Amino acid sequence: MASSLQVLDQFQISPPPGSVPDTSLPLTFFDIVWLFTGPVERVFFYPFPHPTSHFVTHLLPTLKSSLSLTLQNFYPLAGRVRPSSDPSSDSKFEICYSAGDSITLISAECSDDFHQLSGNHPRNFGELYKLIPQLPHSNEGTIPLLALQVTLFPEHGISIGVAIHHVACDDSSSMHFIKSWAASCRLGGSDSPAPPPPLHDRSTIADPDGLYSKILAEIEGLRAGGSPPPPAESPSVAVEQPGVVIASFSLTREQIERLKQLVLEKSKKGEASPIHCSAFVVACAFAWKCLVKAQGGYARAGKKTAHLLFSVECRSRLKPPVPAEYFGNCLRPCFVELPVGDLVKDDGVLFAAEAIGRAIKGLEDGVLKGAEGWFQKIVSLIPEQPMSVAGSPKYRVYDADFGWGRPKKVEVASIEKTPGTISLAESREEQGGIEIGLVLPEHEMDEFSSCFSGGLKLL
């Protein structure tokens, strides 16, 4: 693998000198749950039919200068998480930015087949992962938050690899950053407005019930028992496994609408109250059934219950609502379980969608209900190998246009680190469609593909 990738240069990019004062932002209870995890990693592929000389002379300087300007607004990403400098603070950890702090930007050149790597078909995951930068090592108890890698495939394309530690922000905020950088980089050719600046006011997240201290105590209690790992031991490098592939599957708008119709018809027959039924719900249900059938481990292990874990955006659900531009984490976990026997039936997708829809509908009783037990429940589910979900169609990853057009392909590479994780994004090809990504051993991917295509034939 190493012979096909050549690092051209490495830069440290800071906000413009004097543009950001030394600042510290306390972590909220939404952030603290991610303290001992690792980065969310994405790769954006773009057609770029130019040689290395054009890339180095014309494009790279623009990427660097626009990144610096973008970090002026998104300065927390250039900082680090550290223990709070104020012993009287309710928050024990903070993001600290000091003048001169920077992020690493790597420029590289790759001789691999751009079109092979940026396709939807199953391909070797290890070949993709070298396009992702590594976060710098934690230093003196601090956690770096962002690293970037721009890789040229001469005469064919470019990839932008992004690694953002989850403790810094969720997908909503990370895509806000990416789209802001893209808007700053664009040189004409697009009349679309730049995104609004981020909001860094942490007082926006109210904590009247002391959830921060309760969740932190829960985490520290679990750490004392050996889980979760400290930051230095958090997985940040994927270990290449022979036969592990990444692939994408698509549901068209028409297929999604048909699934929603079937779910609602089934719900009316057996439910006294309506359920939440959306494109997200039916896409998760479809993938959940196919993944359980592909893995086959439930039957071998004698498991009778399948588990699903996904995050729910809370900005609009909190009271009062939090502005969409709020920068940080604002997610809660949502837990769903279903008998394996129901999930693997011919109409298992309908059972799954009903269960997911009921779970989301239940959030209307209070989006923070049971928050003090979230972390422990997540840890307790790990041995059950739940399907978990990264991303969402509403984040619109294919709108990240740096001036070369929309991405050809976007992958969430970090799903490889948690077995049973899928990624969701909007379809690049049509409004209302959904793209599902996953990483599996090759034989399981074949089973997933067979179940997926077989299910579509029934619609």
DSSP per residue, 40-61 = EEEEEEEE----HHHIIIIIHH
Other Cβ atoms less than 10 A from the Cβ of 43: the count is 22
pLDDT at res. 298: 58
Does the pLDDT of residue 91 top 90, yes or no? no
Spatial contact of 52 and 68, defined as CB atoms under 8 Å apart: no
pLDDT at res. 314: 96
Q: Is 97 exposed, middle or buried (0-12, 13-18, 19+ CB in 10 A)?
A: buried
Mapped onto helix, strand or coil, the DSSP state of residue 244 is strand
pLDDT at res. 193: 76
Which of 19, 35, 134, 17 lies closest to 80 in space, CA to CA?
35
Does the pLDDT of residue 188 top 70, yes or no? no
Give, to the nearest 10 degrees, the angle between helix 171-185 and helix 60-73.
130
What are the residues whose beta carbons fall under 8 Å from the beta carbon of 380, sequence distance 6 or more? none
Of the listed ranges 184-193, 258-267, 355-364, the least confidently predicted one is 184-193
Mean local confidence (pLDDT), 338-345: 92
Does the pLDDT of residue 231 top 50, yes or no? no
Does the pLDDT of residue 2 top 80, yes or no? no
Does the pLDDT of residue 85 top 70, yes or no? yes
Does the pLDDT of residue 229 top 70, yes or no? no
What are the residues whose beta carbons fall under 8 Å from the beta carbon of 212, sequence distance 6 or more? 27, 28, 29, 32, 90, 91
Which residue type, as a one-letter code, is found at position 380? S
Does the pLDDT of residue 297 top 70, yes or no? no
Which pair of tokens denotes residue 102?
């920077």
Average pLDDT, the chain: 90
Strands 421-426 and 387-390: parallel
Which pair of tokens denotes residue 152?
């040229």
Other Cβ atoms less than 10 A from the Cβ of 439: the count is 29
Mean local confidence (pLDDT), 36-48: 96
pLDDT at res. 275: 79
Which residue type, as a one-letter code, is found at position 68? S
Other Cβ atoms less than 10 A from the Cβ of 129: the count is 22
Helices (H), 101-144: 114-117, 125-129
pLDDT at res. 225: 63
Does the pLDDT of residue 53 top 70, yes or no? yes
Which residues partner with 247 through β-bridges?
438
pLDDT at res. 261: 93
pLDDT digits (tens, 9 = 90+) for 374-424: 888 998 998 888 999 999 999 999 999 999 999 999 999 999 999 899 999
Separation between Cα atoms, residue 44 and residue 411, nearest integer Å:
7
* Sign of the torsion formed by the C-alpha atoms of 273, 278, 284 and 285: positive
Mean local confidence (pLDDT), 222-231: 56
Does the pLDDT of residue 307 top 80, yes or no? yes
Does the pLDDT of residue 268 top 80, yes or no? no
pLDDT at res. 123: 95
pLDDT at res. 67: 97
Which residue type, as a one-letter code, is found at position 378? I
Of the listed ranges 59-73, 170-184, 201-215, 234-248, the least confidently predicted one is 234-248
Separation between Cα atoms, residue 247 and residue 411, nearest integer Å:
9
Mean local confidence (pLDDT), 26-36: 94
Mapped onto helix, strand or coil, the DSSP state of residue 402 is coil
Q: Which residues does the annotation mark as catalytic?
A: 166, 401
pLDDT digits (tens, 9 = 90+) for 418-449: 989 999 999 999 999 999 999 999 999 999 99
* Sign of the torsion formed by the C-alpha atoms of 123, 148, 310 and 363: negative
Task: Band the pLDDT of 230: cuts 50, 70, 90.
Answer: very low
Of the listed ranges 12-16, 298-302, 325-329, 355-359, the least confidently predicted one is 298-302
> What are the φ/ψ torsions at residue 222 (nearest 5 degrees)?
-70, -35
